[in-house]
Each structure stands twice: as structure tokens, then as C-alpha cells.
Chains A and B, each alone.
Chain A
Amino acid sequence: MSDKQHSIIGAGVPRIDGPDKLAGRANYAADNLPADMAYGYGVFSTIAKGKVARIKVDEAKRMPGVIDIFHHGHFPSLYRTPSSFAQGNKVEETRLPFEDERVYYEGQFVALVVADSFENARAAARHVEVEYAAESAVANLAQGLDDNGTQAGSGNHSRGDAPGAFEDAAASIDVTYHTPVETHNPMEMHASVAYWDAQGNLTIYDASQGVVVERNALSKIFAIAPERITVHAPYIGSGFGSKLWTWPHAVATAAVAREVERPVQLVVPRQQMFTTTGHRPETRQRMRLATDANGRLVSLRHESINTTSFTDQYVETCGSVTKSLYSCPNLTVSHATTQVNRGTPTSMRAPGAAPGLFALESAIDEMALAAGVDPVQFRLDNYAERDESQDLDFSSNHIVEATKQAAERFGWHDRNPQIGSMREGREIVGYGMAACNWEALKRPCDARVSLRADGTAFASCATQDIGTGTYTIVAQAVSDVTGIPIDRITVKLGDSSYPDGPISGGSWATATTLPAIAGAARNALDEMKRYATGDNGVFAGASSDELDVVDGGLRNAGGKQVSFAEILDAARYGSADGEAHTEAADSQYSYRSFGAHFVEVRWDPGISHLRVSRVVSAIDVGRVINETTARNQVEGAVVMGIGMGLFEATEYDERNGRPVNNDYAEYVVPVHADQPEIDVILLDYPDLAFNEYGARGIGEIGITGLSAAIGNAVHHATGKRIRELPITLDKLMDDVPQAQSA
């Protein structure tokens, strides 16, 4: 790869899928309308715990257009998937839809109407009469602990003697943080369209961040060979993790499509996207930190409990970053869960790290204050130089530079550390900062690239573009290797019949997919060279080694340059094809991404108005593949972090476990007017130990630490340490009247 060719890597290439999306040509799951399609509509439980005592469908069945109504007494027998991450058949909710009469959460499918139109299905669904035998629900984390205590989680770590070192320390803190349930709320609804052909092959269009895993899970659930299932998800209206794993609605859609012998479409209503398609669980995190007289961490304990469902254990690994971000000889990280009557939680952008770094980076701020050290200096003094949890060097770590650069750009040195001391008119200005961190992961991947006789290239991989720009960076990689311009490269993703690719999660799609694509492109080039040097080839008799790849063609030492199209034409081949398989990352190093957020808040106490007015983030994610889409990922994550910090919480009625604010009006996320000036610095140091592109992935790191930086800035402005997200204005007000107890 010449430097000239590498110039496409890192360039801000516009999204190649943009025009199709703008023109409405991009078909999302529910846009697929196969002939003779029927519509499903769910009946959802209105209790959070208990049983369906009786279900009456006779009246609903007689309504216009109704084809059938399914429920636990009338549903085909299916099989559970072993739900193995290693086998690639994981689901988050292992219980099958309509498996029995039990109700584990409000908004659980208890029946499914299939009718000839959406309207008829919905109307009939409202006439299905369900009688429940309700039981007292476990409505939140506190009730879960009272009722059934905790179950041990995974991802624990211990080194040294944290309790002992805590006792002898010069300064210490012992504080507990709480984060609420957050719901992904992607714009595109969860939706499935499924049909079976006469040979018993299943095709499903699903809003999925992982077509291969969905295929494999459905293969287990329907007990048919994976080759007989095709999952399509060419476009996804974002997912934030909620579309990583197959949820009950997709299983139910495929099952009833087989029963009614027609294609069936099912769209999950917005209200049930708060119940049956995952959420980020509620957490309680106790942090005990201690320093020596020099302000060095000597003891760190991070004990996290998160809510999970009664059907499955989901562990929110809040301490995943705590293990390795700071140097500390005595450290304990533990995770436990408590069961509540909610649907099974799932990964939401930066799972573990997002709530975990709210606690850790708030606690670090508290510890710095307790130790009498500036929060930036405290971090610079305590950042780990190697991964002490794995006893490994980091492959590439520029957190010190990120912190210093962002501090400089932000103007941290102008900060008066005195609480509430920085005023502008009626507003009190607060400065806060936090580190951010995310594990860099790379999974096995297959890919195929064809160089075609018409001068174009075609690349395919069964990964997905969830709106992040994967289509575009795959084209950049093909262009980088072959010299074919972007506008002559077609990229196909989101189809399980393509070579196996990764789920679009964990920020690993870039690092996983690009090396496989580049490998496939190089293999296609080797094929091209064989054609060129073969008997009828344009360079017949030459050695492949003598040929350079230049601008979509080959050139020999004599300067003769021939395009791929001419080479293929001469050899009478339609294409030169290559496939490649690349492996998961090795364990030679600890691979992580790093960064720092600096946040300015403004608090107007006269009207109890808090806003984030400025954010500077410096991010070290290895090489940046696409300047535009990379910046967009960080800016979007910062905005989402503002939502996490100030607004977002799914509110459950503590009396019955029902999610109450289950729509876009009442579940508050930032709008455009809430978005501050966001200044993103991309450090762009290639991490070549990780992969040939040196890219580590960028989707999640931007949200980590952001809410802590806000909380730290709020503390600087107001003197109030809010340890329970979101930081709403009522938590910052003084003398709030309390309700008279009834």
C-alpha cells in the first residue's frame, strides 16, 4: 500500500449510502412488503408478574380480516437456543414467546393476532380478552434486593488487599452511585417480515445488528439447518445495542408465518420497545477509593449491582474499565444482579462502561477533591501505564496526551477551583472533566471482493451498517487496496448469505471487517495478476511480482499500465475474485481506546436552569478511517451522553412495575436545542499491533465518562454532588416541598 493509496484512508468520504437514504430507496425491515403479506399485532401483558388465567379470542377471531390468533395455548412447539456467544447463536431473552402462561414483565407478548391488514390486526388485538392472576411485582432494584437479594455476576477481578489498604490510607471516600434504566429508543421501530418457501426455507427481514447470529439462533429455535435461513438487514435505523440479539417478536413472526403459510410483518409498537426489546439496566455502584499522602491511589473497590429479569441473567459490567484505567495495587471489582419484573436487559451503547464510568469518574473527582489535588492532575498522576489487571502492556495508549490536549483546548487553566466562583451574569459556570475508555475488540471475519470486467468492484460481508458508515469505510478499504475509485465500488452488507461477518456492536465492526475486506481484495488482485500473466494475458509470461497495482490496473516495470477491465477482457473472465478470513485479536497486548471529556455547564439558579454549554473531547482510537463518520460517532455519543447525564430514565411505577414514560414525548432525550458546541479532537495514532489499518473502533467510547464530566462540572458550579442520574433540575433545587404523607 503506497502512501498515495493510503490517502483514501482517513479521508472524509461522504456516506455512499446517503443518496439511497435521502431518496427513500433504502428499504428498512418494515418497508418490505412481499406479495400476500399478512400483518401481526401483539397483545401485551398489562401486569408485570403473574399468569394468564384465561384468554378469550372468540370475539376477536370473528372480526374482519383476522386469520388466526396465537397465544400460549395455540402456538407451534419451538426449541430454545443455547444462547452461546461462542457458538454465535446468542439471544438475550432465552424464553420463547408463548412458551407458557407465565408473565414476567409488563409488555410481554401474551397473544399475537394475524390479519389481512395492520388495522384489522390491531383492532382485533384490542378485542382479545385476557384475564390475569396477578402477583405482587418486583418493581425496581431496591425491591429486588429486599425480595430476593443478589446473584453473583461475571467479570470480577481482584488484586492486592483493597480493604486493608483502605484502612491505612491518608484520604478515602466511600460513596454510592445509582443509574436508572435507559431505553435505546432507536428511531426505526423493531420490525420483522418473515416468510417460508415451499421447501421450508425461511427468509426474514429484521431490524438486526447481527444477521449471522440471528440466522444461527433461528436455526436452533426452529431446528433447521442455518443454510435454510436468510436474514436481511441492509439498513437499520440505528439500534444502540437493542438490535444486537433476536427478540421474541422476530421468533414469533417467523413461527406464525409458517403457521398461516403467508409472509407476516410485525412491527413492535413504541410502547413495547420499552419492555420487550431490551434496555440498559438500573445499577447501584458502591465506590471505595483511597490515596496515600502523595495523592496516589492505594485502594479501589467498585461493587456493582444491576437489575436483570427473572428469565435470564444480564450482567452490566460496570467495573470493566475500573480494572485497568488507573494504576492501583489493591483493587476489587465485583458484579452482581438482582431480579426484577422487567424484560431482560441488553447492551446499550458502551454497556458496562457508560454507567460504570459515571461512577468511577465521579468518584475519581470526589477522591481528587478529598486528596486536595486538581482533578486533571490527579488523573495524570494515577493513569495506569500498563494493564495491571492482565499484566500486559497496552498496544497503544495516548491518554496523557488526550487529557492534556483537551485541557488546553478547553481552557482548564482558567478554572477557579472554588465552588460556584465562576459567574457570567445570572449564570454560574462549572468546569468538569472525566476520562473515557473502551475495550478494543476484533472478531473473526470473512469477506469477498470481486474485481469486475466493467471496471467496478463488488465487496460483500455479512456485517451491517447501522447508520455508522460501515458501507463507506468498506468501500474505502477496497479502493485503498485496488485503486478503484469509490464511485465504482458496490458494497453489500446485511445479508446472512454473504461471508460471515461480525455483529455491529462493541465498536468492533471496523477493526474486524476492514482487514478481511483488504485481504479479500488482495486475493482478488492475485487472481487478477494470474489472469494478466497467463497465456492470453496482457502481461503473458511476466511474473506477478513484477506487476504493481496502480489506479485500478496493473503496471509493469516498463511503465506499461493496463486496467483491470482490459485484463479481464483479454482473458475472457467476468471477474477476478478473492475471499479472505481474518482471526480475532491476539492477546499479546491489552487493546483499549482512551480519551478525555471536558465539559462546561451553566446553572442559572434563579430559574433552576441547567445546560451543557461546551464540550471538548480528545479521543485516541487508533487510526481514523473516515474523518467525517468518525467525528459524527463521537459527536453523537456526546449528545447521547448529555441525555444520559441530564434527562434519560425509564420511570417504573413502584407499585406495579409498569414503565410509565414510554413514548418519545415523555422519555426525554436531547433535542437540537440542547446540543452545545462540541469540539472533537481525534488523535489518530495508528495501532498497528491491533490490525493492519491500526483502527480500534469509535462507536461507544464517546459516551463513556461524559455523564461523569457533567456531574463533576455541576458540582463545581453548585457544590451539589448528584450521585443519581439523571441530573434533573429538581435535584439541584433547595427547599423542595415534600408530599404530605397520605
Chain B
Amino acid sequence: MRHFDYARAESPQQAVAAHGSDRDAAFLAGGTTLLDLVKLDVMQPQKVVDINGVDLTTIERLDDGRLRIGAMVTNTALARDERVVEDYAVLSQALLAGASTQLRNKATTGGNIMQRVRCPYFRDGVSACNKREPGSGCAAIGGVNRTVHAVLGTSDACIATHPSDMCVAMAAIGATVEVQGPEGSREIDFGDFHLLPGDTPAREHALEPGELITHVVLEAPIHGSRSAYLKLRDRQSYQFALASSAVIVRMDGDIIREARVAMGGVGTKPWRAPEVEAALKDRTASEALFANAARLAFEKATAYSQNGYKIPLGQQAIVRNLSDLTAA
């Protein structure tokens, strides 16, 4: 069998120390991505640092109203947390729209942020893939790209979507990622955490080697707001989004005072759409307004051989979500 070193950490400090700055080391949380990709021989960590013994499982309300979530809080626990259900419905719904019950019971908050793309050409270990083997090309362009490939934020090097639902909700809510590394702790704005593929799709996030996500801090809920996650896919469950929207609105009568919109299934990262938000702000809710605003999100979209439908579908995900949320 393929041998690797295994260490079990009891604290973030221990975990970081055990990991070091070794690029061939990997943290093991729920394992729903890592074990999968190791079995497929797509990831070959030489060292695995198990962080399931690290106590990062609490959710706490900070004095400034923000919600601080431990990286090892499971997707199930987060989705069912009363404060999340009350104040961040969009997050609870997004989590429950993802994966299956068994996977959500294992998957963690930090791990969900770190999950890797579902592009079959990345996962097959054979095809050209700049993520897996930089410089080899992108087989998805011109190949089978109907479901898990993006129309926003793509490059000639990579078109895979970021698969997470949770992250789309977090992108809409606004959040800070707290990390600990060999050089100490730092914070990364959620919007800066995931990187566009550009010419370097193998580089997927802002973490330096050896840095560990310890918490995600959600921005304080917008007083008087409503939120929802709408996920569109072929089957009703257990499929990654073809297109999804996370929407938060604060209404004043039928006027939208504030809107936050993010999208999944269409972008190479969890896709916040500030141009849509700006177009909605202080405007009277109407289907025509929603349609015009949603169109703005896709002005720079690129259709590939099989996924052009995501451009209208993504707009539908925004329009319907807004329509339901703003209905009296």
C-alpha cells in the first residue's frame, strides 16, 4: 500500500507544527474530499495530520453580533444551529441542499471551504488538467462540461466550478476566515479566500502551506432581513448545483433597501455579484427589475460547448429567489 505519515493533533498549534510547511502534507477533517481523492490516486499526501481531536467545534456569538464558527463544526450541526436557522436562513438552507445526510454528518466547516472541484477530468487522473498537472491543459474545454463547469471566472486553463453550496451562502453573508500557520494567526476576507484559476488553477486558495483554518466568522445579520438559498439541478437531491443563488434582502415596504447576492454552480469560485446588488438597492421590487439585475451578473459570462444554458439558468435562480423573498 501507499505509505504516509499520520499524526493526530489535539490543538491548532500541534496541528500546524505537525504539518509544517510541507506541500505534501494534508490536514484530515471529515475526509469527504481527501479520502475520496487519495483513493482515486489524485492526491498523494506523504503526511496526514488528523485534526478530528482539535476542539474547534463551538459556535459562539461575538459581542459585535458576528457569529464565530469553529472549523470542525459539522455541516449538519451548523445547519441545525438555532442561531444559524434564525439569523442566517440562507446558510442553513445551503448546507442542507448539499451532499447527503451521511456526508453532512462528516463534512466540516473548514473542510467544506477547502473542498476540491468535481471536474471529472481532474478526478480521472489521466486527462489533461492544469490543476492536477500544471501545464497539461484543460480537457474540460471542448469536452464534457454540462454540469460541473463554470461560465463565470473561467480561463483558458480551467473552467471547473467551485462545488460548495455553503460557501455561496457565506459569500453572500460576508465572512472572515481565521487561519493559524507557522507564522502565527491571520484573517482572510472570505471574498479573497478562493482564487480565480487564471493561469495558475493549481493554486486554489489564499492559504500558505501549513496554514490551518480555525474559524469562520460571519458578519452580523442584517437586522430585518430575509434570506434564502435556491439550488437548481437535474435531480432533487445529491447533485452539485447547475446554478444556485444565495440572496439576502432587507425590505422597506416594497422597496429593496439592501440586497446581497451570490451564486453557485456557475463560477469558478463562490460568486458574489455586487453589480446585481447595486442594481437592486433602493429600487421597487418587480420581476422586471430582478430580470435586469440578474442579467448584469452574466454580462461577462462565457458559454462552453455544453453549458451555455447556465447563463439563463443562473439568472432564473436569482430572479426566482428574489421574487419569493420580496413577496409580501
A608-B303 CB under 8 A given contacts A671-B236, A674-B235:
no
Q: Check if A738 is an interface residue, CB within 8 A of chain B.
A: yes
Interface string of B118-150 (1 = CB under 8 A from A): 101101101100000000000100111011100
Query: Bound complex: CA of A733 vs CA of B303, how far in Å?
Result: 15
Q: Is A408 an interface residue (CB 8 A)?
A: no
Whether A660 contacts B144 in the complex (CB less than 8 A), given A736-B309, A739-B303, comes out as yes
Q: Which residues of B sit under 8 angstroms from A120, Cβ to Cβ? A: 1
- Give the complex CA separation of A669 and B127 in angstroms: 25
| A661 with B237, Cβ < 8 A, contacts A651-B144, A653-B139, A655-B143 known | no
Task: Tell whether, in the assembled complex, residue B311 and residue A606 are in contact, meaning their CB atoms are under 8 Å apart.
Answer: no
Give complex CA distance A120, B323 in Å: 56
CB distance from A185 to the nearest CB of B (A): 14
Cα–Cα, bound, A368→B203 (Å) = 58
Given contacts A117-B1, A607-B317, A668-B235, contact A738 B303 (CB under 8 A): yes
Contact in complex: A670, B235 (CB < 8 Å)? yes
Instruction: Looking at the assembled complex, report how far the CB atom of A576 sits from the nearest CB atom of chain B, in whole angstroms.
Output: 51
A739 touches B305 (CB 8 A): yes
Residue of A nearest to B139 (CB): A653
> Is A606 in contact with B316, judged by CB distance below 8 angstroms?
yes
Task: Identify which of A126, A666, A674, A739 contacts B304 (C-beta below 8 A).
Answer: A739
Chain B 241-271 near chain A by CB (<8 Å), digits 1 or 0: 0100000000000000000000000000000
Is residue A198 within 8 Å, beta carbon to beta carbon, of the partner chain? Answer: no
Q: Which of A620-676 contact B (CB under 8 A)?
A: 646-647, 651-653, 655, 658, 660-663, 665-666, 668-674
CB distance from A677 to the nearest CB of B (A): 14
Given known A-B contacts A660-B121, A661-B120, A740-B303, A728 and B234 have beta carbons under 8 A apart: yes
Tell me, yes or no, whether A123 is within 8 Å of chain B by CB. yes
Cβ–Cβ contact B41 & A126, under 8 A:
yes
The chain A residue sitting closest to B40, CB to CB, is A271
Chain B residues near A729 (CB-CB < 8 A): 232, 234, 242, 309, 313
Query: Are B237 and A646 within 8 A (Cβ)?
Result: no
Across the interface, name the chain A residue whose C-beta is closest to B39: A122
Contact call A608/B316, Cβ cutoff below 8 A: yes
Are the CB atoms of B311 and A737 closer together than 8 Å? yes
Are the CB atoms of A607 and B230 closer together than 8 Å?
Answer: yes
In the complex, what residues of B have CB within 8 A of residue A102's CB?
none
Q: With A122-B1, A737-B303 as given contacts, are A653 and B234 in contact (CB-CB < 8 Å)?
A: no
Tell me whether B144 and A653 are in contact (CB under 8 A).
Answer: yes
* Contact status A733-B313, CB under 8 Å: yes
Q: Which residue of A lies closest to B230 (CB)?
A: A607
Contact in complex: B139, A607 (CB < 8 Å): no
Taking CB atoms, residues of chain A closer than 8 Å to B147 are 661, 666
A21 at the interface (CB under 8 A from B): no
Report whether over half of chain B's contact residues are helix, strand or loop; otherwise say mixed. Answer: loop
Residues on the B chain within 8 Å of A159, using CB: none
| Contact of B319 with A by CB under 8 A | yes
Mark out the residues of chain B between 302 and 328 whose CB falls within 8 Å of any chain A CB in the assembled complex: 302-305, 308-309, 311-313, 316-317, 319-320, 323
CA distance A175 to B261 in the complex (A): 45
B223 within 8 A of A: no
Cα of A443 to Cα of B303 in the assembled complex, Å: 54
Cβ contact within 8 Å between B319 and A606: yes
Q: How far is the CB of B107 from chain A (nearest CB, A)?
A: 14
Q: In chain A, what residue has the closest Cβ to B317?
A: A607
Q: How far is the CB of B237 from chain A (nearest CB, A)?
A: 4
Interface-central residue, B41, B120, B126, by most chain A CB under 10 Å: B120
Please state if B118 and A666 are interface contacts (CB–CB under 8 Å): yes
Report the separation of the CA atoms of residues A740 and B303 in the bound assembly, to the nearest whole angstrom.
Answer: 7
Chain A's closest residue to B120 (CB) is: A660
Closest to B118 in A: A665
Name which residue of chain B comes closest to A733, CB basis: B309
B239 at the interface (CB under 8 A from A): yes
A611 in complex: contacting residue of B1, B236, B302, B320, CB < 8 Å: B236
CA distance A603 to B257 in the complex (A): 33
What per-residue 1/0 map shows which CB atoms of B1-43 lie under 8 Å from chain A? 1100000000000000000000000000000000000000100
Give bound CA distance, A609 to B244, whole Å.
13
State the CA gap A159–B152 with chains docked (Å): 57
A36 within 8 Å of B (CB atoms): no
Contact pattern, B 285-302, Cβ under 8 Å of A = 1, otherwise 0 = 000000000000000011
Q: Which residues of B lie under 8 Å from residue A126 when comparing CB positions?
A: 41
**A671 in complex: contacting residue of B237, B301, B305, CB < 8 Å:** B237
B235 touches A673 (CB 8 A): yes
Report the separation of the CA atoms of residues A5 and B316 in the bound assembly, to the nearest whole angstrom.
61
Asked whether A653 lies within 8 Å of B143 as measured between CB atoms, the reply is yes
Contacting pair A608 B1 (CB below 8 A): no
Q: Which residue of B lies closest to A729 (CB)?
A: B234
Q: Determine whether the beta carbon of B120 is less than 8 Å from that of A666.
A: yes
Distance of A607 Cα from B230 Cα, bound (Å): 10
Chain B residues whose C-beta falls within 8 Å of the C-beta of A669 in the assembled complex: 235
Q: Which 6 residue pairs across A and B have the least CB separation, nearest first?
A: A119-B1, A673-B236, A730-B309, A737-B308, A660-B144, A673-B237
B-contacting residues of A (Cβ < 8 Å)? 46, 64, 117, 119-120, 122-123, 126, 271, 606-609, 611, 646-647, 651-653, 655, 658, 660-663, 665-666, 668-674, 728-730, 733, 735-740, 742
| 28 A-B pairs whose Cβ atoms sit less than 8 Å apart in the complex | A46-B126, A117-B1, A120-B1, A122-B1, A271-B124, A606-B323, A608-B309, A608-B312, A608-B313, A608-B316, A609-B232, A647-B234, A647-B235, A658-B126, A658-B127, A662-B120, A665-B240, A668-B235, A671-B236, A674-B235, A674-B236, A728-B234, A730-B146, A730-B313, A733-B309, A737-B303, A739-B305, A742-B142
Q: A608-B232, A674-B237, A737-B303 are in contact. List 4 more A-B contacts (CB 8 A).
A: A46-B126, A651-B144, A666-B118, A733-B309
Residues of B participating in the A interface, judged by any CB pair closer than 8 Å: 1-2, 41, 118, 120-121, 123-124, 126-127, 139, 142-144, 146-148, 230, 232, 234-240, 242, 301-305, 308-309, 311-313, 316-317, 319-320, 323
